[in-house]
Amino acid sequence: MRELILRALALDDPSAAFAASDTIARLLLAARVTLLFLAWLGLVARDDRAQRVAFAIACGLFVGSLAIVALFVPFALSALVVCVRHVAVASSRTRFASAIGAIFAISMLVLGSQYSARPAPAPPEDVAGLTAYWLDRENLFEARFWATQWAGAERERPGEGQLLLARIDWELGHRDAARSLLADVVARAPSPDARRRAATQLATWPSRDETR
Amino acid sequence: MRFVYTVWLGAAVAMLFAVAWHHMDLLGDGFWCMAAGDLVLSTHALPDRDPFAFTSTPAPWILHMPAFQIGSAWLARHAGLGAVLVVSTVVAAIAALVAWLPHARTPAARVVTFPLALYYLLVDADDLSARGQLFGDLGFAVLLVALTRMRLAPSAVATPARGLARARRWLAPIALGAVWANLHPSFLLAVIVPLAFAAVELLEPRGARPPLLPFVGFALAALVGACLNPYSFVLVIDVVKLASDPTTAHVDLFRSPDFHRLGWLLAPASAIAIVALRTRFGDPRGRRADVALLVLFVAATCVARRYGTMLVAVELMVAGRIASDAFVAPAWTRAAARPLFMAFTVAQIAVVAVHARERKDPLFHVPAEAAALLEARNLPDRVMNPYHWGGYLDWTWQGRRKVFVDGRNNLFANGTFDDATRISTLSDGWGDLLDMYEIGTVLWENGAPLDRALAKHAGWQEVHRDRRAVLYVRR
């Protein structure tokens, strides 16, 4: 809430142009268009000279607040003036229409902001998790970067990291490096299961002559 | 007088074509579309894996605009890239005409809304290029015409139709959905916008609102039509995924416009002016719905500049109707109408004459020389390239050399898209990223931050520089 108020006041960069770059900006946009629509309903309900002037000022400030975000608060206040003057004379039907309009505008914008803000899952912090994370995201280069660190950490006792690095190297075309990694696992891994899997994998890959 | 008006209208239409031609370019998106189309034409099959990039996800690759991709590739093969520019110009201008003329029905309405029709082409002129989006804009303009008819002729729509009329009522949205889905992923608007029209009509008093079911029926029929493509409903699902992909929100087109530029500020300003006019002028029926639509599209434009053109189309729809219903030319203009029309016509013909003579180089914005040299000198593989040049490299290399990234952002949602941004903005660790992706050659923009950084980097050596691009290889 504090962040929302600070952003509405635009104290950090008052002359910046509006940009719907995050959820708060989108919420402020929702507030803008909702207030504008409510102000218009206020104008329709009470179409006198003073209301028209107030609405014209609100419109000018709405457009201005897109170019200079610091004008958001003056816009909001001017739109509220139009709305308050409207509420003073509104029938229940126009109040109902205003409420529907407000809910409609807000829901469309909030839904829109949620729709386009689906973030990628946060990466884990350990190298094994990071390797799996990038493999899951199908980025072999990032996966190789973390698998290399994982394999480096188990240099004395080759195991899963080296097996995975060999698989990624093979996929990326580093065939010789992949073979030597697996050969190292076969020769030195303390785990019989890792040795067996490395040997099986090595047997399934075509030999250097065959790949040529 | 009618003759003078007809000449003016002809000159106005010609001016829209001329302005579209003046701003039309061939950029990355158009090229990767043609690259994909070329692949289909060569193999006589739809591709299932991406053959153009070395970093893209190995997930199945779906052509999101199959007819445009294959059609533009065919056109480029048989008539050259210039023909692609010409056809794109015609499509852009027709979209402007469809957005303008059906709504502004009287001569006076057409005269006063013509600047808005011109602005329709200019609002995002920097991005006006030969790509499927032009067909998306045309589809949206056609959609607005169809929905306006449904709003204004509720009795005709509500009356049970028989035979051909009934078939046409269903076939029209199906055809629109089918054609649009094969030309551009924005076909989802043919489903969403009718529902939005129905929703805003709820703001109208019960007796004044048109029946809402036809709007829902239109949306459903358009959805059925959208499934008439080589991938059937799979394309629809994939496009929904594309729209919600995090990388899409980071594409320049789907970010807020720069409201410090007057050209962009004019879009919401003109919408607000039309809101004010709508309060006092035009048929009271549909007033709240019109204003709600304008406000919604203003909001959409504030979120993504992609919707700027659509906002102006909605403005043309509302302003055209206001002007047709309510605008009566002031008496003094009637006396001066003939010389005014003639003056406007002469000015418009002058604009046409200037722009029609322009010669276009379809390769003006792309690194044609550097890309050819990279292949000719057999520079190392795994080429780092800017996002907006990837499409051209896809097209010119045809998969012989693979690119780092291109405009098909959803194929690079595996982190590559973000890494491309980090490298181009020289964020922390950009050099490590070049190592991580095993980049052998950097093909980049002459004078860009990465160019300046690599020029000072001990690990990289410049091998080529032209007016547009530079090439670096590892030392």
Q: Got the DSSP string for B235-273?
A: HHHHHHHHHH-HHHHHSGGGS---TTSHHHHHHHHHHHH
> Which range among A65-74, A98-107, B18-27, B357-366 shows the weakest confidence by mean pLDDT?
A98-107
The Cα–Cα gap between A66 and A72 comes to 8
pLDDT score, position A211: 47
On whether any CB of chain A is under 8 Å from the CB of B200, the answer is: yes
Q: How far is B168 from chain A (nearest CA, A)?
A: 32
Task: Establish if B240 touches chain A: CB-CB under 8 angstroms.
Answer: no
**CA-nearest residue of chain B to A56?**
B276
Q: Residue range A82-93: average pLDDT? A: 70
Q: Which one of A35, A36, A174 makes the best mutation probe of the B interface by having the most chain B beta carbons within 10 Å? A: A36
Note whether A141 contacts B: Cβ–Cβ < 8 A: yes
CB contact (8 A) between residue A142 and residue B58:
no
pLDDT at residue B327, rounded to an integer = 76
Residue contacts between A and B (CB atoms, under 8 Å): 126
| Residues from chain B contacting residue A109 (CB–CB below 8 Å) | 299
pLDDT at A121 over 80: no
Query: Is A94's pLDDT higher than 70?
Result: no
* B206-225 confidence digits (pLDDT tens): 888 889 999 999 999 999 99
Question: Which among A24, A27, A29, A37 is the top mutation candidate for probing chain B, defined by the most B β-carbons within 10 Å of its own β-carbon?
Answer: A37
Q: State the pLDDT at residue B364.
A: 94
Return d(Cα B260, Cα B404) in angstroms, integer.
33
Average pLDDT for residues B342-347, to the nearest whole number?
90
Residue A209: pLDDT band with limits 50, 70, 90: low
- What number of CA atoms fall less than 13 Å from residue B138's CA on the CB side? 19
Contacts of B291 in chain A (CB under 8 A): 37, 40
With vertex at residue B26, the alpha carbon angle to CA B21 and CA B31, rounded to the nearest 5 degrees, is 150
Contact A44 B255 (CB under 8 A): no
Spell out which residues of chain A touch residue B299, defining contact as CB-CB under 8 Å: 29-30, 32-33, 105, 108-109, 112
Q: Check if B302 contacts A (Cβ < 8 Å).
A: yes
Q: Residue B261 pLDDT > 60, yes or no?
A: yes
Q: Given an 8 Å threshold on Cβ–Cβ distance, is B244 in contact with A47?
A: no
Q: What is the mean pLDDT of residues B71-98?
A: 97
CA of B358, closest CA in chain A: separation in Å?
Answer: 34
The mean per-residue pLDDT over the stretch B179-191 comes to: 97
Q: Which of A155-164, B34-43, B307-316 has the lowest mean pLDDT?
A: A155-164
Provide the CB-side half-sphere exposure for B13 (13 A, CA): 11
Between CA B402 and CA B411 the distance in angstroms is 14
Q: Give the residue-averaged pLDDT of B29-44.
A: 96
- Of all residues in chain B, the one with the smallest CA distance to A136 is B414
C-alpha distance from residue B348 to each of A4, B8, B218, B338, B351 (Å): 49, 8, 39, 15, 5
Q: Which of B246, B265, B295 sits opposite A105 (nearest CB)?
A: B295
- Whether chain A has a CB inside 8 Å of the CB on B271: the answer is no
Edge-first strand listing for the sheet containing B469-474: B383-384, B441-445, B469-474, B460-465
Q: What is the mean pLDDT of residues B357-373?
A: 94
| DSSP assignment letter at B437 | T
| Beta strand pairing call for B460-465 and B441-445 | unpaired
What's the mean pLDDT in B132-161? 83
Mean local confidence (pLDDT), B11-31: 95
Q: Which of A40, A49, A171 is the best substitution to test chain B (most B C-beta atoms within 10 A)?
A: A40
Over range A162-168, report the average pLDDT. Answer: 93
* Confidence tier at A116 by pLDDT (50, 70, 90): low
Instruction: Report yes or no: B288 at the A interface, CB cutoff 8 Å.
Output: yes
- Is there a contact between B279 and A115 if contact means CB atoms under 8 Å apart? no
**Chain B residue with minimal CA distance to A20?**
B303
User: Which structure tokens are listed for B16?
Assistant: 């829209």
Averaged pLDDT of chain A: 83
More confident residue, B394 or B337: B394
Measure in Å the smallest separation between the Cα of A180 and chain B Cα atoms.
20
* Pick among B253, B254, B294, B303 to test the A interface (most A CBs inside 10 A): B303
Does residue A92 belong to the interface with chain B, where contact is any CB pair within 8 Å? no
Hey, of A141, A165, A169, A171, which one would you mutate to test binding to chain B, going by the most B CBs within 10 A of its CB?
A: A141
Residue A145 forms contact with B (CB below 8 Å): yes
Environment class of B285 (CB within 10 Å of its CB; exposed 0-12, middle 13-18, buried 19+): middle
Sequence length of chain A is 212
Q: If you write DSSP's letter for every residue of B121-157 in order, what string do you get?
A: HHTTGGG-BSSTHHHHHHHHHHHHHHHHHHHH-HHHH
Query: Cβ of B244 and A116 within 8 Å?
Result: yes
* Selected residues 173-202 of chain A with any CB under 8 Å from a CB in chain B: none
CA distance B242 to chain A (A): 10
**Is B12 a residue whose pLDDT tops 60?**
yes
Sequence-distant (6+) residues with CB within 8 A of B328 are: B108
Report percent pLDDT > 70 for chain A. 81
Chain B contact set for A32 (CB, 8 A): 299, 302
B298 contact A CB<8A: yes
Under DSSP, the state recorded for B209 is: S
Q: Does A106 touch chain B (CB under 8 A)?
A: no
The closest of A1, A23, A21, A3 to A110, measured between CA atoms, is: A23
- The DSSP call for residue B53 is B
Q: A-contacting residues of B 44-63, CB under 8 Å?
A: 55, 57-59
CA distance A27 to chain B (A): 11
For chain A, positions 5-24, list CB contacts with chain B under 8 A: 17-21
Mean pLDDT of chain B: 92
Q: Model's pTM, two decimal places?
A: 0.90
Cβ-contact A116, B248 below 8 angstroms: yes
* CB neighbour list of residue A139: distance below 8 Å, 6 or more residues apart: B55, B57, B414, B415, B416
Cβ B282 vs Cβ B317: under 8 Å: no
Is there a contact between B310 and B134 (Cβ–Cβ < 8 Å)? Answer: no
B contact residues 375-394, partner A, Cβ 8 Å cutoff: none
- Read off the pLDDT band of A7 (50, 70, 90): confident
The whole-angstrom distance between B269's CA and the closest CA on chain A is 6
**Closest CA of chain B from A192, distance in Å:** 32
A97 and chain B in contact, CB less than 8 A: yes
Whether residue B154 has pLDDT greater than 60:
no
Of A18, A100, A134, the CB nearest to B259: A18
pLDDT in tens, B379-428: 999 999 999 999 999 999 999 999 999 999 999 999 999 999 999 999 99
